[in-house]
Amino acid sequence: MNSSLHRIASLTGIVWLVAIVAVVAIGCGGMNPFSVTQFFMNSTLTDALGQRGPTTTQTTQPTNTVLASVCDLATGPNRTLQVTIENESPLFVKFSMTFLASTGSGGFVCDSEVLTYQNAGYNFVGTSNSAVFGCDTVLLGGERILAMRFGVSQGASGGLAPATVSGTTVTPSTTILHGIDGSPFIPLPQVIVFGSDDTDFPCNGVDLCTQRGFVYTTSAGVVTGKPVDASRIQGTICNTGLGTAPEWRLDTTLSDSVQLFQYTFGGSIVVHVLDRSGDAVTNTRNQVTWTVLDSFGAVIHNPNP
């Protein structure tokens, strides 16, 4: 199956009917990034939401404009994305996420920004504007694809630390994703794909929505409990029922409304891994949820367990 933009082209006119508009809300090395896992631990949600932090006001974004290139955005934080992962379960957690952006003629990353992406840890994959991640074939515009992978490499022990429990209080362990340059402001991806061809993150046959993004493990890295398929990760195209792709996608409309599977430029994503490793096989509850903030710190997607 192919997860290119034409797979959800029919969704172009389907804007999330219950868009959260201007919500006043708070809270809610090597140049080969495929060879190393980068974890930077932080225990505060304030830091997890990034240096911009949540605010109580939002300025209206421009509308009726299509973002064709990252260079259409002002330099600085607007050209980045911050992602934090919070593990609320008592188990270790491994994950697999790959950030993608197209380059070349018609690509999202203008020529002047390619080096910025590479310095952060993006690498070219393949020789065309198509690449395969697990069983997900991603086709973007442009000529070539830059990719940066985050997660625990195959065979590694441990993963995201378990949550800390004290009485009835559960304190998640928190990890902020950084580029290889050490910055949490990661050059803006067009697509975030969950899963890979690593042993812990397969899909079932060619069913893209069964591709795993997270797995619960023992301290030795042995997978235990129910793995987290794309269909149980809030906001993936699979999870929204609007298509079949284990992905989140950038909103390029520069409007005040985003679709269920979209994040925005210059914003932040906080990923919540819930304590649901023991869910029944047929249970359809979300195991992973997200809080998405725009560049002004306003919440545009709330966790939906």
Q: What is the 3-state secondary structure (H, E, C) of the chain?
A: CECCHHHHHHHCCCCCCCCCCCCCCCCCCCCCHHHCCCCEECCCHHHHCCCCCCCCCCCCCCCCCCCCCHHHCCCCHHHEEEEEEEECCCCEEEEEEEEEEEECCCCCECHHHHHHHHHHCCEEECCCCEEEECCEEEECCCCEEEEEEEECCCCCCCCECCCEEECCEEECEEEECCCCCCCCCEECCCEEEECCCCCCCCCECCEHHHCEEEEEECCCCCECCCCEEHHHECCCHHHHCCCCCCEEEECCCCCCCCCCCEECCCCEEEEEECCCCCCCCCCCCCCEEEEEECCCCCEEECCCC
Per-residue tens of pLDDT for the chain, all 305 residues? 444 433 443 333 333 333 333 333 333 333 333 333 333 333 333 344 433 333 333 334 445 688 999 999 999 999 999 999 999 999 999 999 999 999 999 999 999 999 999 999 999 999 999 999 999 999 999 999 999 999 865 444 568 999 999 988 999 999 999 999 999 999 999 999 999 989 899 899 889 999 999 999 998 889 999 999 999 999 999 999 999 999 999 999 887 679 999 999 999 999 999 999 999 988 999 999 999 999 999 999 999 99
Tell me which residue range forms the domain holding 20.
5-24+43-67+77-301
Looking at residue 255, what is its pLDDT?
72
On whether residue 72 sits in a domain, the answer given is no
Looking at residue 256, what is its pLDDT?
67
d(CA 144, CA 127) in angstroms, rounded, equals: 6
Contact predicate 210/230, CB 8 Å: yes
Contact predicate 5/140, CB 8 Å: yes
d(CA 11, CA 276) in angstroms, rounded, equals: 31
On whether residue 123 sits in a domain, the answer given is yes
Phi, psi of 117 (to 5 degrees): -65, -45
Angle at 232 between CA 120 and CA 18, to 5 degrees: 90
On whether residue 230 sits in a domain, the answer given is yes
User: pTM of the prediction?
Assistant: 0.81
Phi, psi of 113 (to 5 degrees): -105, -5
- Nearest in space to 267 (alpha carbons), one of 26, 54, 46, 42: 54
Q: Number of folded domains in the chain?
A: 1
On whether residue 37 sits in a domain, the answer given is no
Distance of CA 253 to the CA centre of its chain: 19
The single-letter code of the amino acid at 25 is A
- Bridge partners of 269, per DSSP, are 83, 292
On whether residue 32 sits in a domain, the answer given is no
On whether residue 9 sits in a domain, the answer given is yes
On whether residue 38 sits in a domain, the answer given is no
Looking at residue 64, what is its pLDDT?
60
On whether residue 33 sits in a domain, the answer given is no
Cβ neighbours around 43 below 10 Å, total: 11
Looking at residue 27, what is its pLDDT?
34
